[in-house]
Amino acid sequence: MAGNDLTAPLGMGKRTIFRMPFGLIGLGIMTVIVTTGLVWIGVVEDPLGGEPTAVVPLERTVEGLSSRDIAVVEINPDIAGDSKPDSPEKRLPTLGPRFEEPPVGSEPNLASRRELTSLPDDRVVERVDHGLIPKVGIDGIRPLDLYAKQIAAEPASAPKIAIIIGGIGLSEAGSRNALENLPADVTFAIAPYGDRLDRWMRQARAAGHEILLQLPLEPFDFPDNDPGPHTLLVSLRGPEFLDRLYWLMSRFTNYVGVINTQGARFTATEPSMQYLLEEITKRGLMYVDDGSSSRSIAPTVANAAQTPFSRVDVVLDAVPKADEINARLLQLEALARSRGMAVAAGSALPVTIKALEDWSRDLEQRGLMLVPISATVDRPTEG
């Protein structure tokens, strides 16, 4: 024992310094972490550690769609790899046109579906004193189903616009101008008081246009403002009302529905609208509100009656000047982009036809799609 150890005070001997092996400890911790990760991946088989995922089996490619046209709609944890389409009872009912599917195993011919017949289908017409009027066939098929034009296959994200031009048949020059210069997906509304209406119907359908019948309804200032003979009045019911309606309906055939002409008082009167739309629904037609009256209760009544319905969002030529019409077209585009779909209406005036002709030339290049009015039936309600 060294001398300094003997002479040192009790408990005050030479100290031993212990150094911690921090390098070895750190290496051990890293080894544990890496080993745990490898075991987790190998055993649990979930490298994302439980992060929610959705697996979509792709059976075939979809032509015409780009990545911007595909969006995540919902992550459903109950979806299985072998899931099947919803059963019919789970699907939301639609009121729009129901197109007949091609036989199993045959290729769908979209071009033929877009060809519109100009002859009435015996399944959906009946004869009354005034002539042929529409009806629902015994197999449930409606005039709306048979006479509607199926839209071309396009990306679902493309904003859609429907345009109705009214007053067809009233003016030879105006009707001819519309027929020769407007795109085929513009819908024509034929007035019941014109001449040779069957001829205009046949020519319009042959050119690819859907057809509406214009119905004159009672305005507030009737009879000072009289839409014409056989105007439907709020005071009418029963046989007298139906006689007027059937006269109007018998003026020509092959239309998908009706659109009101004037009618601010009629469209604001619930019992009259109920009576009319119940008959429209019974006849297998759609009803279009022309958007001219803010007091119209047509949307509410149509919903209750389960009537195929659409409504005009923009009246193009309330002021029939080119700059005003162009401003309304810009408004229409904005609505279509914000809502996904919008409807406009105008008259067969030269200024309106020229504005639409110019506006529609590069519609597809601007990312918009023109559709017939029947394609707007099941659009979402504006929030």
* Best mean pLDDT range from 72-81, 109-118, 188-197: 188-197
Mean per-residue pLDDT for 296-309?
A: 96
pLDDT above 60: residue 77: no
Phi first, then psi: what are they for 38, rounded to 5°? -65, -40
- The 3-state DSSP class for residue 27 equals helix
Instruction: Determine the pLDDT at residue 101.
Output: 66
Across the chain, mean pLDDT equals 82
Q: Which residues contact 316 (CB under 8 A, 6 or more apart)?
A: 163, 325, 328, 329, 332, 344, 345, 346, 352, 355, 356
pTM of the model: 0.74
331 band by pLDDT with thresholds 50, 70 and 90: very high
Q: Which residue blocks in 222-284 are alpha helix, DSSP H? A: 238-249, 264-267, 270-282
The CA–CA distances, whole Å, from 345 to 26, 244, 315, 341 equal 76, 25, 5, 14
Q: Which of 12-26, 75-89, 286-300 has the lowest mean pLDDT?
A: 75-89
| Model confidence at 336: pLDDT above 90 | yes
| pLDDT tier for residue 19 given thresholds of 50, 70 and 90 | low
- The percentage of the chain sitting over the pLDDT mark of 70, rounded to a whole number, equals 72
Instruction: Please choose, from the candidates 235, 218, 234, the residue with its C-alpha nearest in 3D space to the C-alpha of residue 226.
Output: 218
User: What are the pLDDT digits (tens) for 364-382?
Assistant: 999 999 999 999 998 875 5
Share of the chain above pLDDT 90, in %: 64
pLDDT band at 157 (very low <50, low <70, confident <90, very high): confident
Q: What pLDDT, on the 0 to 100 scale, is given for residue 66?
A: 38
What are the structure tokens assigned to 64, written together? 């015409």
Q: How far is CA 85 from the centre of its chain?
A: 22
- Give the mean pLDDT of 89-105: 65
pLDDT classification of 198: cutoffs 50, 70, 90: very high
pLDDT in tens, 262-285: 999 999 999 999 999 999 999 999
- Average pLDDT, integer, range 64-71: 36
pLDDT band at 50 (very low <50, low <70, confident <90, very high): low
| pLDDT for 92 beyond 50 | no
Q: Is the model's pLDDT at 71 over the cut of 50?
A: no
Tell the residue number behind the tokens 């009435």, with chain if given. 120
Residue range 146-168: mean pLDDT, rounded:
88
Q: Do 159 and 341 contact (CB within 8 A), yes or no?
A: yes
How big is the CA angle at 175 (ends 172 and 178), to the nearest 5 degrees? 145
Answer whether residue 40 shows pLDDT above 60.
Answer: no
Q: According to the model, what pLDDT value does residue 33 have? A: 75
Identify the pLDDT of residue 46.
Answer: 52
Q: What is the tens place of the pLDDT at every residue in 240-262?
A: 999 999 999 999 999 999 999 99
pLDDT band at residue 94 using 50, 70 and 90 as cut-offs: confident
